[in-house]
């Protein structure tokens, strides 16, 4: 989910050398005037929170013991996910917090964590903890904003990341709040850690993702010893599929 500048349409015409300017408007034919105008324009963009290159990140840690418990009992298990949302400036934290949490809080159980300054970036970040549910079967409606569904196939458990319709509603409301920006879910970044907290070694299959920073195209099996973990970053194609179809395979766990 990224905040990008809206396109209000229209075209720019190039004035001729002899063109006269309206009273009160600077003569932009002079380099010094151009520099001044560009500087002021950039300052306005930053003030209203037009964020270039900033992407919302969804980070979560899934424990295999929870996965196996849900598969065995059919009872859902909740766990926290962290949502990192770009904001224009850490100094505006309280104002942005009221707006963003006011929207997201209508659709999910969440907790404000903090705002942080990101060095070297043109934006800062707000961190929010969002309750996420692991459910058995893909037919169960997603509660809140995000969820994980378990689907049994050929003696294995397929982990599906899922988005609820509430995400679309929340995005539209945020879009309306920030008049000069639009929200683009296609730029969502997802990071998932799978942690083996069981007492035995487990096999986890992953494809179309970065695993611990290394690209994995075709399906590959990873052995997780007790207390072992891997970090997944789904490919852009996989993430885009999740946004458009509301679900996407994360990994497959051997039973």
Residue 125 lies in a domain: yes
Q: Tell me how far apart the terminal alpha carbons of the chain are, to the nearest angstrom.
A: 34
The phi, psi pair for 70, rounded to 5°, reads -65, -40
Query: Is it the case that residue 124 has pLDDT exceeding 60?
Result: yes
* Radius of gyration for the alpha carbons in the chain, expressed in angstroms and rounded: 23
Q: 14-61 pLDDT, tens per residue? A: 444 444 444 444 554 555 555 454 444 343 333 333 334 457 899 999
C-alpha span between 77 and 100 (Å, rounded): 26
Residue 176 lies in a domain: yes
Q: 67-115 pLDDT, tens per residue? A: 999 999 999 999 999 999 888 888 989 888 998 899 999 999 999 999 9
* CA neighbor of 201 nearest in space, from 221, 222, 225, 227: 225
Higher pLDDT, residue 39 or 252: 252
Domain count, the chain: 1
Tokens of 141: 């409606």
Q: Which residues contact 51 (CB under 8 A, 6 or more apart)?
A: 2, 3, 4, 86, 88, 122, 123, 181
C-alpha span between 219 and 209 (Å, rounded): 10
Residue 80 lies in a domain: yes
Give me the DSSP letters along 122-151.
S-EEEEEEEEEEEEESTTSPPPSSEEEEEE
Burial of 105 (0-12, 13-18, 19+ CB in 10 A): middle
Residue 52 lies in a domain: no
Residue 225 lies in a domain: yes
- What per-residue confidence (pLDDT) applies to 42? 40
Residue 13 lies in a domain: no
Domain that includes residue 235, residue range: 57-254
Residue 15 lies in a domain: no
Residue 189 lies in a domain: yes
């Amino acid at each position: 989910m990224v905040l990008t500048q809206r396109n209000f349409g229209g075209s720019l015409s190039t004035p001729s050398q002899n063109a006269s300017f309206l009273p009160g408007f600077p003569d932009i034919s002079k380099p010094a005037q151009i520099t001044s105008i560009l500087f002021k324009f950039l300052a306005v963009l930053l003030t209203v929170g037009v964020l270039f290159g900033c992407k919302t990140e969804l980070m979560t840690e899934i424990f295999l013991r929870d996965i196996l418990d849900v598969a065995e009992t059919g009872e859902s298990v909740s766990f926290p996910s962290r949502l990192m949302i770009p904001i224009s400036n850490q100094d505006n934290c309280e104002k942005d917090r009221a707006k963003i949490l006011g929207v997201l809080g209508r659709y999910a159980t969440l907790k404000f964590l903090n705002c942080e300054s990101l060095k070297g970036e043109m934006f800062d970040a707000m961190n929010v903890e969002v309750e996420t549910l692991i459910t058995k079967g893909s037919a169960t409606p997603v509660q809140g904003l995000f969820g994980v569904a378990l689907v049994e196939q050929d003696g294995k458990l397929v982990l599906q990341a899922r988005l609820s319709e509430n995400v679309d509603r929340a995005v539209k409301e945020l879009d309306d709040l920030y008049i000069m920006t639009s929200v683009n879910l296609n730029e969502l970044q997802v990071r998932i850690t799978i942690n083996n907290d069981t007492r035995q070694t487990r096999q986890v299959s992953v494809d179309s993702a970065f695993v611990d920073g290394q690209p994995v195209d075709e399906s590959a099996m990873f052995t997780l010893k007790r207390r072992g973990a891997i970090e997944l970053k789904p490919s852009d194609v996989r993430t885009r599929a999740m946004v458009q179809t509301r679900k996407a395979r994360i990994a497959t766990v051997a039973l």
